[in-house]
């Protein structure tokens, strides 16, 4: 049997991770399922825990209990060991706020159902990654501009904690969207996709998507697929703010795609420059500012779903 390792972010979903781990650990003990586990003690730690767990304990199946931020950190570790020719499959028990990764792979939100899939699921898919020039990888998306600012302010906000406690975590992203929408100043940016440069005046955001969702089930790029070896890019441009209002209310269903302010591109080598530095998010985590360069790395991680 494959050796099983758990990485648990006890603080994900404002403490939901710790509660889910208790439930999962009880199940593992009752059913005498051998495993190793590590709890993250600080931000960023899931990367080194992933590497050490796989190298030291020869873990063939890594199960992450966390949100998209913890999966993002574990993915850095999985991509690192992939370069050394070592592989380990990734399974997820969602305990975060947005849980976009779990949604994209049809992983149930119920902890014991997700555990059952992690332990016995036979479907394994190879997924692409987005890799930046600075070596960061993203499993879900990388975006610059409006959504970079939304990710940063949501993660720093106090209402995210309060809403998580009320099981309304997704609302925290929407509240920040409204905040940023009222004040955001678009600028000109230059997007290069596979050698072709597109000048983008009044750009609000450019997001490179590996899956359709971000920010807690916002269907920003409905055509994105992590299996097709190509990244989908969505750009929103507008001179006026109020012209974009309909997008706020249609983007959750992915019905913004025909709005004239929205355009799409596809490619494997992408770069973005901007008139003024724009904040970047990678899988919902703050990741610096433009300029940004991304290449699509095909079939790097195996996901159990
Ligand atoms: N012990 C810890 N103390 C402080 N921060 C931690 C700790 N363990 C992990 N973190 C940080 O918590 C952050 C949030 O985790 P995660 O994204 O998994 O949950 P979330 O924010 O509730 O969910 P989502 O990303 O789906 O919105 C991550 O950036 C991670 O680095």
Q: Are 169 and 215 in contact (CB under 8 A)?
A: no
Q: Is residue 129 part of a domain?
A: no
In a domain, 131, yes or no: no
CB 102 within 8 A of CB 114: yes
For the Cβ of 98 lying below 6 angstroms from any atom of ligand 1, the answer is: yes
State how far the Cα of 90 lies from the Cα of 102, in Å rounded to an integer. 11
Residue 223 and residue 264 share a domain: yes
Residues 159 and 290 in one domain: yes
Q: Is the predicted pLDDT of residue 170 greater than 80, yes or no? A: no
Span 218-241, pLDDT tens digits: 999 999 999 999 999 999 999 999
Q: Please indicate whether residue 215, judged by its CB atom, sits closer than 6 Å to ligand 1.
A: no
Residue 93 CA, distance from chain mean position: 14
In which element (H, E) is residue 215 found? Answer: none
Phi, psi of 183 (to 5 degrees): -125, -10
At 32, list the tokens. 């005498």
**Distance of alpha carbon 174 from alpha carbon 214, whole angstroms:** 12
Q: In the beta sheet, which residues pair with residue 273? A: 190
In a domain, 10, yes or no: yes
Rounded distance between C-alpha atoms, residue 79 and residue 111, angstroms: 26
Atom of ligand 1 nearest to the CA of 70: 18
208 in any annotated domain: yes
> What pLDDT is recorded for position 23?
98
Does any domain span residue 14?
yes
Q: Distance (Å, rounded) from C-alpha 301 to C-alpha 89?
A: 7
Number of structural domains the chain divides into: 2
Same domain, 159 and 85: no
13 lines ligand 1 (CB under 6 A): yes
Give the angle subtended at the CA of 82 by the CAs of 116 and 304, to the nearest 5°.
15
**Ligand 1 pocket, 17 CB below 6 A?**
no
67 assigned to some structural domain:
yes
Same domain, 176 and 213: yes
Mutational pocket test of ligand 1: of 14, 44, 47, 66, the residue with most ligand atoms within 8 Å of the beta carbon: 66
**Relative to the CA of 16, which ligand 1 atom is closest?**
22
| pLDDT tier at 60, thresholds 50, 70, 90 | very high
Compute the distance from residue 242 Cα to the ligand 1 centre, in Å.
Answer: 34
Q: Residue 212: helix, strand or coil by DSSP? A: coil
Identify whether the C-beta of residue 258 lies closer than 8 Å to the C-beta of residue 233: no
CA of 12 to the centre of ligand 1 (A): 5
Q: Is residue 84 classed exposed, middle or buried when 0-12, 13-18 and 19+ CB atoms within 10 A define those classes?
A: exposed
Same domain, 63 and 179: no
ipTM higher than threshold 0.90: yes
187 assigned to some structural domain: yes
* Cβ(284) – ligand 1 distance below 6 Å: yes
Number of helices followed by number of strands (H, E) in the chain: 9, 15
Q: Name the residue range of residue 43's domain.
A: 4-122
Q: Is the peptide bond before 291 cis (omega within 30 degrees of 0)?
A: yes
- Counting from 1 in the atom list of ligand 1, the atom nearest the Cα of 14 is 22
Is the CB of 42 inside a 6 Å radius of any atom of ligand 1?
yes
Same domain flag for 109 and 152: no
The answer to whether residue 202 scores a pLDDT higher than 80 is yes
Query: What separation in Å is there between the alpha carbon of 233 and the centre of ligand 1?
Result: 26
Give the pLDDT band of residue 43 (cuts 50, 70, 90). Answer: very high
Query: Are 155 and 274 in the same domain?
Result: yes
For residue 130, being part of any structural domain is answered with no
Asked whether 96 and 68 are in contact (CB, 8 A), the reply is yes
Give the residue from 224, 227, 10, 12 showing the smallest Cα distance to 99.
Answer: 12
* Residue 219 beta carbon below 6 angstroms from any ligand 1 atom: no
Which residues fall within 8 angstroms of residue 214, CB to CB, at 6 or more apart?
A: 98, 100, 140, 141, 143, 147, 207, 220, 284
Q: Are residues 147 and 117 in the same domain?
A: no
Can you give the pTM of this predicted structure?
A: 0.94
pLDDT band at 1 (very low <50, low <70, confident <90, very high): low
Between 84 and 292, the higher pLDDT residue? 292
pLDDT, position 299: 87
The whole-angstrom separation of Cα 221 and Cα 232 is 7
76 CA to centre of ligand 1 in angstroms: 15
CATH classification of the domain holding 203 = 2.60.200.40
Least confident span in 31-35, 267-271, 283-287: 283-287
Q: How many CB atoms lie within 10 A of CB 76?
A: 21
Show the tokens assigned to 257.
Answer: 């795609």
pLDDT at 168: 80
Q: Residue 210's pLDDT is what? A: 98
- Least confident interval from 64-78, 156-170, 203-217, 245-259: 156-170
12 C-beta closer than 6 A to ligand 1: yes
Confidence of residue 275 (pLDDT cuts 50, 70, 90): very high
How far is residue 130's CA from residue 230's CA, in Å, rounded to a whole number? Answer: 10
Q: Which of 166, 100, 169, 173 is nearest to 139 (CA)?
A: 100
Answer yes or no: do 78 and 209 share one domain. Answer: no
Are residues 96 and 172 located together in one domain of the fold? Answer: no
**pLDDT at position 153 over 70:** yes
> Looking at the structure, do residues 153 and 257 belong to the same domain, yes or no?
yes
Strand 292-304, strand 269-274: pairing: antiparallel
- Could you give the percent of the chain with pLDDT greater than 90? 83
């Amino acid at each position: 049997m494959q050796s099983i390792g758990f990485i648990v972010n006890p603080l994900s979903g404002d403490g939901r991770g710790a509660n889910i781990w208790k439930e999962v650990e009880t199940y593992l003990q009752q059913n005498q399922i051998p495993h190793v586990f590590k709890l993250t003690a600080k931000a960023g730690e899931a990367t080194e825990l992933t590497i050490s767990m796989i190298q030291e304990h020869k873990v063939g199946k890594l199960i992450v209990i966390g949100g998209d931020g913890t999966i993002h950190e574990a993915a850095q570790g999985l991509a690192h060991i992939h370069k050394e020719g070592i592989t380990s499959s990734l399974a997820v028990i969602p305990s975060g706020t947005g849980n976009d990764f779990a949604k994209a792979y049809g992983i149930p939100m119920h902890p014991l159902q997700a555990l059952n899939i992690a332990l016995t699921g036979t479907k394994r898919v190879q997924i692409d990654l987005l890799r930046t020039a600075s070596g960061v990888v993203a499993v879900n998306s990388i975006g610059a501009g409006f959504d970079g600012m939304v990710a940063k302010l949501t993660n720093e906000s106090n209402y995210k904690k309060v809403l998580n406690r009320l099981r309304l975590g997704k609302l925290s992203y929407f509240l920040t969207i409204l905040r940023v929408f009222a004040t955001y100043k678009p600028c000109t940016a230059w997007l290069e996709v596979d050698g072709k440069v597109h000048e983008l005046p009044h750009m609000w955001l450019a997001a490179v998507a590996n899956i359709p969702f971000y920010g807690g089930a916002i269907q920003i790029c409905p055509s994105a697929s992590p299996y097709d070896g190509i990244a989908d890019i969505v750009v929103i441009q507008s001179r006026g703010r109020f012209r974009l209002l309909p997008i706020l209310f249609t983007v959750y269903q992915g019905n913004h795609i025909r709005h004239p302010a929205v355009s799409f591109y596809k490619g494997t080598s992408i770069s973005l420059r901007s008139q003024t530095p724009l904040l970047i998010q990678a899988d919902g985590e703050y990741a610096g500012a433009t300029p940004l360069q991304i290449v699509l790395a095909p079939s790097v991680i195996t996901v159990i779903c």
